[in-house]
Structures are given as C-alpha cells and as structure tokens.
Structure 1
Amino acid sequence: MVRFPNVYTITAFVALAGMMYGFDIASISGIIGTVQYQDYYGNPVGVLQGAITSATSAGSFVGSISATVLGDKVSRKVAIQWSTILWVIGAIVQSTSNGVAMLISGRLISGLCIGVTSSLVPIYLSEIAPRKIRGRLVSFQQLAVNSGVLIQYLIQYGCTFLNSEAVFRLPWAIQTLPAIILFISLFWFPYSPRWLAKEDRWEEVLHVLASLRTANNNINDPLVLAEYREIEDQIRIELEEGSSSFRTLFSRKLRKRVFLAIAIEIGLALSGISVLLYYGTYLLKGAGFKDVRIALLIQHIIAVLATVPSILWTDQFGRRPALLIGSITMTIWFTLIGGLLVRYGPPNPIPTQPDTYLGLNRAAVSRAILAFVYLAVASFNLTWGPVRFIYPPEVVPLKVRAKSVSLATAFSWAIDFALSFAVPPIFRAISWRLFFIYVSFNFATFIYIWIAVPETMLRTLEEMDEVFEHGEPVWKSLRPKPLTTKLDLLARDIEISMRTV
C-alpha cells in the first residue's frame, strides 16, 4: 500500500502556489520605485502602470474560470500541476521582456497559473484535511503568500545594489523556482479523496483517507471508516439530486451558499489591502518618506508574523469572528489614514510623477500614517487573509465545489483587475477620498457578515447542509461552541460494532 506524506508535509509544498502569488505582488511593489525599471520601461505611471500591474489579475480571472472545469475533469492535483508550467513560462517572458507589451504578456501568462491555484489549492487542502485542523492547513496558503512577498522583496532589495537591468530581471527569473519545486513534488501527493469519490474510485478513497488520517495506513480505523461512509452518503445524496451543471449553482438550495462564497471574495477584493500591497510605495513616498524600502520591508515582516497566530488559533477562534473583527478594524485604519491625508496631504500637481501627494513635511503625521498602514496589514492577515481561503470551499457541496469556488475567485480577480488598473489614476484624481470609499466597503462587509455568514468551524465538509438549513439566525452564535459532530457519533458506533463482532 502506498504511504503518502502526512497532511502537514503536503500542505507545506502545495502552499508554494501561494508563494508564487506573493512573488508576483512583490515583483511589482518593490520594483516600480527603482530608477532602472522606470528608465527601461519609459517611466510608466497612471494608466500604463495600472495596465502592467493589473495584467496578472486579468490572467488570474481567466485562470479561475478555467478552473471551474479543470478541477473536476482532471482533478485538483493535476490542474495545479499543469498551471505551474504556465507560471514558469510567464516568469521567463517577464525576465526577458524588451518592453511594456512583452512584460504585460508575461504577467498575463503568470496570472493564468495564479487563477487556477487560488481556486483549487484551497479546495484541495480542504478536502484532504481532517476537520479539526482544516482551517490551520488552508491558512498556510496565506502564510505562503506573505512569505513569498517578503522573500521576493529581500531579493529585490539586494538587487538594487547591482545598478543594472538585473534589478528587475533577476527577481522575475527567480520566480520560477517555487513552481518547479511544486510541479515535481505533486507526483508524490495523493488525489483529493472527495474527487476520487466523485470519480467512483472508492478503493482509492479508503486508502488515501487511511494514509492521511492514521500512522499505519489502518483502513479499519473507526474515524477513517466514519469519514469514508460520510463521503459515501454525501455522494449518494448528490447523485439522487441530479445534475452538477452551472445551473445547479443557482438552484433554490445552493444559491445562498454560492452567493456567500462569492460575497467573501468580493469583500476581500474591496477591503483595500491591494492598495497597500501594490501601491504602498506611492502612499509612503507621498506621506513624506524619501526611502521607503525599509518601511516596506517592515510591512512585509509584519504580514508574515501576523499570519502565524491565525494559523494556530483559527480552528479554535472561528471564521465568523475573524471576518467581523477584520472588517471593523480595516474600517478604522482606513478612516484614520484618509483623515490624515485630507488634513495634511497636499496633492501633487505634477502629472508625470507617480507620487500622489507632496511630502507632508510633518514627521509625526508621516509616522502616524505608517503606523496605521502597519495596523491595517496586521489586521488583514490576522483575519481576512487566511479566512478568505478557508471559507468558500467549506460552504458548498462536493458536486459544485470546484465551480462555485472558481466562480467566486473569478469575481475577486475581476475586481482586483479593475482596482489594480484604476487605482493609480483614481488615487491622483480623488486623492484621500479613495480611502473613504474603502471605509464604506469594509463597513458594508461587516454588516453583511453579521447577518449572513454562519460559523463553519469544526464541521466536516459533508455536514454543511445542516449548518445552512437549521433556520437559526446566524448572529445568535457570535462565538462557535465546541460540538460533537455526526462524524464523532458515527465513529463511536462503528467502534462499538467492531468490539461486538
């Protein structure tokens, strides 16, 4: 019998997909302020820089849409593996680009990979994870994103001393490494047991569950048999209900849950974090910082450190409280940043300069803006950052999971594309008002979560029907309570029956 690596090892390697996304974020945020980049690509500002930045999001939108089919047809694992090839091609095109058009083309190709992986990696990890640590394992994706940003930024910082085109070419070329490692490692990892069940490969389902849940591949372990039976029952029910087509996504039973997954992704895209990630250089320079490299480095370190508590406690604290706290704290920090800019930040009247504001020339105000940026980054990564990967795959049943999550992720990438493209000119046109637009989005998201988002912590994926059909208002349970699930009861019954035989 094949012995697969344990779920933590699998998660550590599969999360490299998140590191690739982090590399892409830092490959723009850390480079756009360098003289070499600006000189080689003709000082791209405004719409042109927006087009370069948003190209990845455009590709990611297409990749997410394709994942609706690939995730079911060729499996989550194989689709992720194929996408890494696109990432390598995109990184090579970027690192050898001879102009803006070729750079945008490379970022579009890389975006195809990010779209597939951002849709299917959370699904894959959710479907192989034990329910009690599902949140922890999926949260590794956010840690990998932040780690990728930090590592790429450090690489770029070192390259700034080269004083040549290697300042941007070398970091873009290095992006190929995590994709190559992930492509090779996936040959040793199992298929998702839920996908195998959909394909009617039941013997493999049992062996994969036994390998991932027990230390000795014990297929007679009560918890393994209980999870196997629960998956079996869920598949039977879904077969009786019929089609898994796109029309099923919007059936009376599922449309609320599908919309919920989409709403979480939209809330993420409208949280404002993309402004701080992609265009933090512009904001901090406008706030009066001459050299923002150290300030951005500290920001990336904070992002990594803030993700760690969420990984440790997300399966004890819950998804719903994290989303609520994240929305209200982001509302507060963006209000304070916008308030300081409107009071102390004169707009830059020179259209050829990327900085939106003139230097504030007030050290205390500059430090306050920097502090609120750091607090916003920490708040996001403690709350929304990990949960946005955890929640969408949990709330929908197996037969439409790939379609639903991919569609929800596509919405997020579509909005991210629009914002990445439009933020540079909009920021210059409406200045501080941009932050209050994000304040409105975050507050509206807080209200929606309060009235519509139930807690899913500690439930198995097959128990979500009960979560959404019990009829109790979701706001009555702000904090999730420990519970004994159907899986526990079924495992106990199996264990008792085995003793009596």
Structure 2
Amino acid sequence: MAGGAVVSGNGIGANAPKNAIAGILMTAFAAFGGILYGYDTGTIAGIQAMPNWLETFGHQVPVSTTNPSGYAITSSQQSLVVSILSAGTFFGALFGAPVGDIIGRKWGIILSCLVFSIGVAMQTASTAMALFVVGRVFAGLGVGLVSTLIPMYQSECSPRWIRGAVVSAYQWAITIGLLLASVIANATQNRPDHSSYRILIAVQFIWAAVLSSGMVFLPESPRWFIKKHRDADAAAALSRLTGLPADHEDVTIELDEIRANLHAEEELGESSYLDCFKPGYNKILFRTLTGIFIQAWQQLTGINFIFYYGTTFFQNSGIHNPFLISVATNIVNVFMTLPGMWGVERFGRRTLLIVGAIGMCVCEFLIAIIGVTISVENKSGQQGLIALVCIYIAFFASTWGPIAFVVVGEIFPLNVRAKALSMSIASNWLWNFAIAYATPYLVNDVPGSAASRRRCSSSGARRASAASSSRRAPKKETDGVSIEEKV
C-alpha cells in the first residue's frame, strides 16, 4: 500500500499542555483522509469481479468456474483499469508539495477532495470504459494529493509528544478504508443492475464530504502561516491547537522555535535533486538510495496483488465466495497493523523489516506452489491457500506496511528532506503502477498457459473418469468380468 504516513516538519512542541484534547482530536481527524484513500484503492478488487460491471464493460465468454457470470474483460483492459489509479496518484503526490506551499495544507486537502469527487462522479456515471478510466485518473490525482498533504498537516500541527501516534493513525485509517470497501462490495455484488458497482463507487462522495467539510473548521498549519509571514494568524492557529491564549508564553516560545527552524532551513539554501545523490560524510547518496529502494521493495512484496486482484484470484482458485474471503483478509490487515505500530519502537525498524521479509517470502512460496498444483475442487487446498494469504498479510501489516514509511521519514537531513522524500514516495507509486499493470498479463488464463492446461486436464480427467465408469457398468452387468480382468 502506498501513501503511508511520513513524519516531517515541526509539530507543536513539548510545551503544549497534555490536556489539549481538542487540538489532538483536530489533527487526528485529518487521518480520515486515509479512509478515503484506502477505500478508493480497495474498490477495484470487488468491482472487476461484479457480474453487472463485467457485462457492462466486458465481452461475453463461456461460463466457467473462473467466469461464472459469462462475461469478462481482457488482460489489457484489466491492467489499465487497475493501474491507471496509481499513474494518477504518482503525479498527484508530486503536486502535493507545491499545492500545500501555495494555498496551504488545509485548503490543499479540501482541493484534493474536490478533484477526487470529480473522478468519483465520472466513474459512477460511466457505462463506457473510456469514461471509467478517465474517472480513475482524476480520483488518483486526488488520492495522491491527499497522501502527501495529510501527513504533512498532521506532523506540523500535532503535539510533539503524541505526533507519532497521530500520524500513524493515517496509515491505520488506510487499512480501515480497504476493509470498508470489501464489506460494501460484498453487500452489493449480486444486485442485478448498475447499482451493484455504482453504490460501491458513490459511497466515496460521503468520505470526501466528511473530510472536506471537517477541514473547513480546522486551523491551518502554524508553520505554513509563519512561512508566509502571517504571524498573527499563526498565533491564532496555535492557540486553537494547544487550548492556550494566543499571547500565552508557551505559544510564543513555540512560534519562536518554528521561526528558528525555518531560518535554519533558509541558511542551508536550496538543494537540487542532484544533491541527493552526492556522496559525502553524511552519506546522503546512501540514504537516498535506501529510501528509494525500501519503498520499491515494499511494493515488490506483492501486497497490492491481494488488494487489487484478491477477489479475482480467489475466484479463479475455485473459492465459492471470494468477496467474503476478501473481507476476512482486510480484517487481518486492519488489526495486524496495530502490533506494528507498537513494535516499531520496542523491537526496532531493521529487525521487524527482516522478520517480515522472511515471513512473507515463506508464505509466497507456499501460495505459489499450492496455487499451481491443486485442483479448483480441492477444498483442503483452498483452505490452506486462504490461511497462507492471511498469514502473509499479517506479516506485511505488522512490518513492511507501516515501517517502510517510518524509515524514510527519519533518515534524510533537513536540506534535502523534501526532495529525497518525494523521490522515495514517487518510487513507491511507480512500482505500484508497474505491478498493477503487469499482473493481469502474468496470472490470467490464456490458451496454452500452464493454468489453463491444468484446469483443462483436471476437467478432462473428471470427464474421462465419468465416461469410463459409464462404460464399465454395463460390462459388469452382462458378463461379470471387469476390464482389468479382460486385459
């Protein structure tokens, strides 16, 4: 999953009173954007397996275990529909920083919701593939903006003593959004008309409305006000966040600290992207490559195969209720993120990343072996497949899911932080797009493929067995001698 929390900037200091519950709730509310992002990412897994959506956008095929509705889309259409969101999100994430600097973090989030809603409207109204794809692009732009602006807003507005928990709540909200998408998809999948997928898509208007309307009443980032030399507005915003009067000593001290940090950034001067790749005593090159590759490897774990194609994968494996299984896997994802949020400080980043990588590797080998060897009628094999997928998700959610973003939020020096972070997150979205685009070509059945031959041979064996039995029965009735005895 891309777009997790990245902590940067100056949050409200330790001098903020710990009973400033209102300020904590305000910054925690912004994590609701994670639900918007996670839900949008999760909808496509259910949509592309819905009978009415396939009938509307696909073509007729013979009814089979893998195509029970009698309709399907081509591999090229499937890869385009799924991956185009990540393409839009890639550019949205790059635009997030300048949008936040120009109009502010708060109004940038509201603008993101507007862009996102345009994409949702296009997808809801579409009955043609072209409009649906364009809608996915606009939704991706909105999601990309949100994925940059909300962690930025939270890290700059939350009290320092609780900043990590507040920003991590955004990552947790993403998993909740994925779960909500699978639950609603399961509830609407069998509706006989366009409402089956339109309800699932249109629910996103609610998430966008809640986030944008709530942000209207929240204060802007004091750090952004200071950067724009609007000191009075910064004091008023910080007053709301801390629950202290605008002229209180603690508010003044915090504003002075923000000014000092901004002054230090200005003294370091503007750095170019080339500066991120210059070797030196502070190992900037090594840090930059670490951020880029750790984000790439998070996607190369294959987790988005489950969240993008999980429903289709379970259906192709012969599982009779793939939507319900997707709900179960998302429940695992939600609750196993909590141990990761707790264990990151207790066990360390590196240890958890190594343990998670080993656990996921073992599960993926077993899933691959079972997936290509068992028959679609093998109940025990299917149950083992589901269990291994759940264990695999548990390893990811408690390790590489949140921790990859914690690492890139901590390793860069101030003078190159923004640019190095943008390249790291861009790496995540780029690999997200590549994997989503390539997967249908790798796993879909095509004439002559191994999976196709396996299913054909399995069904052929069953037909041959049935025919053989029907031929043997009359022989036994007429002469009482079996075929084997005659041979």
With the length of structure 2 as denominator, give the TM-score of the two structures: 0.77
Structure 2 residue identity aligned to 1:176: F
Partner of 1:427: 443
Q: Distance in 2 between matches of 1:157 and 1:408?
A: 35
Select which of 263, 266, 278 maps to 2:308.
278
Q: Cα 1:418–1:34, aligned 2, differ >3 Å: closer, same or farther?
A: same
CA contact (8 A) 2:157 2:222 kept: yes
Aligned length: 414
Q: Does 1:101 align with 2:147?
A: no
> 1:292 Cα deviation (Å)?
1.2
- Give the aligned partner of residue 170 of structure 2: 141
Verify: 1:24 aligned to 2:40, yes or no.
yes
Contact 2:28 2:154 in 1 (8 A): no
User: Contact 2:38–2:176 (CA<8 Å) still a contact in 1?
Assistant: yes
Q: What is the alpha-carbon distance in structure 1 between the residues aligned to residue 410 and residue 301 of structure 2?
A: 21
SS at match of 1:30: helix
1:417 matched residue in structure 2 = 433
Measured in 2, the distance between the counterparts of 1:69 and 1:63 equals: 11
Q: What is the CA deviation profile of residues 88-107 of structure 1, one whole-angstrom value per residue up to 9, with x for unaligned ones?
A: 10000000012111110000
Q: How does 1:213-362 map to 2 (within 5 A)?
A: 213=242, 219-221=248-250, 228=255, 230-250=257-277, 254-312=284-342, 314-342=344-372, 344-345=373-374, 359-362=375-378
The one-letter amino acid paired with 1:120 is: L
1:278 shift after superposition? 0.8
8 Å CA contact 1:18, 1:144 repeated in 2: yes
Matched, 1:115 2:115: no
| Deviation by residue 1:365-399 (Cα, 9 ceiling, x = unmatched) | 22111111001112211222223443433434556
Whole-Å Cα distance in 2 between the matches of residues 58 and 385 of structure 1? 21
Tell me if structure 2 keeps the 8 A contact 1:53–1:421.
yes
Cα 1:305–1:140, aligned 2, differ >3 Å: closer, same or farther?
same
Conserved 8 A contact 2:76-2:440? yes
Inter-partner Cα distance in structure 2 for 1:29 and 1:431: 24
Pairing partner for 2:25 from 3, 6, 9: 9
Q: Is the 8 A contact 2:119 2:135 kept in 1?
A: yes
Deviations 1:448-485 (A, max 9, x none): xxxxxxxxxxxxxxxxxxxxxxxxxxxxxxxxxxxxxx
128-137 or 75-84: bigger deviation: 128-137
Of 193-202 and 93-102, more deviation after overlay is shown by 193-202
- Distance in 2 separating the partners of 1:295 and 1:32: 16
Pair 1:284–1:382, CA change in 2 (3 A)? same
Matches within 5 A, 1:13-52: 13-42=29-58, 43-52=72-81
TM-superposed CA distance for 1:132, in Å, is 3.8
Q: Using the alignment, how far apart are the partners of 1:17 and 1:384 within structure 2?
A: 21
Query: Is 1:198 equivalent to 2:198 in the alignment?
Result: no
Paired residue type of 1:329: G
Deviations 1:272-304 (Å, cap 9, x if unpaired)? 100111111232233331221221111111111
> Contact (CA 8 Å) 2:185, 2:323: kept in 1 or not?
no
Measured in 1, the distance between the counterparts of 2:230 and 2:333 equals 41
Separation of aligned partners in 2, 1:206 and 1:326: 44
CA distance in 1 between counterparts of 2:187 and 2:270 reads 54
Distance 1:256 1:431 in 2: 42
> Are residues 17 and 86 of structure 1, via their aligned partners in 2, closer, same or farther at CA, if it must alter by over 3 Å?
same
Name the residue aligned to 2:181. Answer: 152
Per-residue displacement from partner, 1:107-152 (whole Å, max 9, x unpaired)? 0000001111112222222222334433322221222112112222
**SS of residue paired to 2:185:** helix
| 1:365 and 2:378 aligned | no
1:54 matched to 2:83? The reply is yes
Contact 1:50 1:422 in 2 (8 A): yes
Asked if structure 2 preserves the Cα contact closer than 8 Å seen for 1:139 and 1:389, the reply is no
SS at match of 2:220: coil
**Aligned partners of 2:26, 2:179: CA distance in 1, in Å?**
22
Amino acid at match of 2:385: I
Indicate if the aligned counterparts of 1:139 and 1:310 stay in contact, CA closer than 8 A: no
What secondary structure, in the 3-state scheme, does the structure 2 residue paired with 1:98 have?
coil
AA matched with 1:269: Q
TM-score (norm 1): 0.75
1:383 aligns with 2:399: yes
State the alpha-carbon separation in 2 of the partners of residues 411 and 78 from structure 1. 26
8 Å contact kept, 1:265–1:412:
yes
Distance 1:393 1:206, change over 3 A: farther
Q: In structure 2, what residue type is equivalent to 1:67? A: G
User: 2-side partners of 1:215 and 1:334: how far apart?
Assistant: 53
Asked if structure 2 preserves the Cα contact closer than 8 Å seen for 1:133 and 1:315, the reply is: no
Residue matched to 2:199: 170
Q: 160-169 or 119-128: which moved more?
A: 119-128
Name stretches of at least 5 consecutive residues in structure 1 with no aligned partner: 346-358, 433-501
SS of 2:142 mapped into structure 1: helix
**SS in structure 2 of the partner of residue 395 of structure 1:** coil
2:219 is paired with a residue whose SS is coil
Shift in CA distance, 384/391, structure 1 to aligned 2, threshold 3 Å: same
Root mean square deviation, CA, Å: 2.9
Contact 2:235 2:246 in 1 (8 A): no
d(CA) in 2 for partners of 1:176 and 1:5?
29
Distance 2:23 2:348 in 1: 21
Q: Which moved more, 1:169-178 or 1:333-342?
A: 333-342
**Inter-partner Cα distance in structure 1 for 2:182 and 2:377:** 27
- Percent identity between matched residues is 31
Contact 1:68 1:407 (8 Å CA) reproduced: no
Larger Rg: 2
In structure 2, distance between residues paired with 1:328 and 1:165: 43
CA contact (8 A) 1:119 1:409 kept: no
Distance 1:102 1:229 in 2: 51
When structure 1 is superposed on structure 2, of 50-59 and 198-207 the one drifting more is 198-207
Aligned CA distance change for structure 1 residues 336 and 416 (closer, same or farther; 3 Å): same
387-396 or 275-284, which moves further after superposition? 387-396
Q: CA deviation at 1:208?
A: 4.5
8 Å contact from structure 1 (residues 47, 422) kept in 2: no
